[in-house]
Amino acid sequence: MQITQITVSYGETQSLPEYSNVKPSITLTAILNEGELAEEVETELWNMAKESVREQIDLALEGSGKAAKWSDEPRYQVMKTYWNQWDHKGQEKPPQYVIILPNEIDPDRDAYAQRFVHAGYSGDSRKLRYAHALRIAREAMGEEDGYHLLDCSNGDLTALNLAIGAPESNPEYAPTEDSPF
């Protein structure tokens, strides 16, 4: 028997919010060239099919406000500043920011001159691929007027420290002569 073409089909089902599912599937066919091994081509088709289906799942999850599940791209979180007007009666509200940070950076939310909260009310705001993090940031900026974007996705917190006040510039959290730091 001589195999001249190989066809594979692959699909997965992923639960989404609101009691819905997505069921992407794909069928790929390859015609073997002379000298190609059927097993190698089959393995390559399976890998291509799985990658394609899983990318569709990730896109569906992100479209539903959830973080991508399968992608190995770097992940980010979206935070925004929170100004509690009741704790600061009579004080002028400082500029407000939406911040994109690498997921592994966990800033002390209370050490800066303003408190940080996660920006995603309608969905996740952690473990996001960059394009999804940017979309969430834009949505968060649109919720209230006066928000500015600080993109610290490269891990450099200089812009954040300058805009909001580095932890050492916050008198409540600044090291003192008596502190061990």
Q: Which residue has the higher pLDDT, 118 or 102?
A: 102
Q: Sign of torsion, CA 43 48 54 57?
A: negative
pLDDT band at 93 (very low <50, low <70, confident <90, very high): confident
Is the confidence at residue 171, as pLDDT, over 90?
A: no
Per the structure, the count of domains in the chain is: 2
Which tens digit of pLDDT belongs to each residue from 120-136?
655 568 899 999 999 99
Q: Where does residue 60 fall: left (phi above 0), alpha (psi -120 to 50 degrees), or beta otherwise?
A: alpha
Residues 111, 145: one domain? yes
Residues 26, 104: one domain? no
Is the confidence at residue 173, as pLDDT, over 70?
A: no
Q: What is the pLDDT of residue 172?
A: 47
Contact of 87 with 46, CB cutoff 8 Å: no
Residues 56, 108: one domain? no
Q: What is the pLDDT of residue 108?
A: 74
Most confident of 106-115, 119-128, 141-150: 141-150
| Average pLDDT of the chain to the nearest whole number | 85
Choosing from 40, 63, 86, the residue where a domain stops is 63
Buried b (16+ CB within 10 A) or exposed e, 105-131: eebeeebbbbbbeebbeebbbbebbee
Residues 122, 51: one domain? no
Residues 59, 80: one domain? no
Most confident of 81-95, 133-147, 151-165: 151-165
Average pLDDT of span 63-81? 93
Q: What is the pLDDT of residue 121?
A: 57
Residues 83, 34: one domain? no
Residues 112, 33: one domain? no
Residues 57, 10: one domain? yes
Residues 56, 117: one domain? no
User: With 0-12 CB in 10 A as exposed, 13-18 as middle and 19+ as buried, what is 165?
Assistant: middle
Q: What is the pLDDT of residue 167?
A: 58
98 inside domain: yes
User: Residue 114: which domain range?
Assistant: 76-169
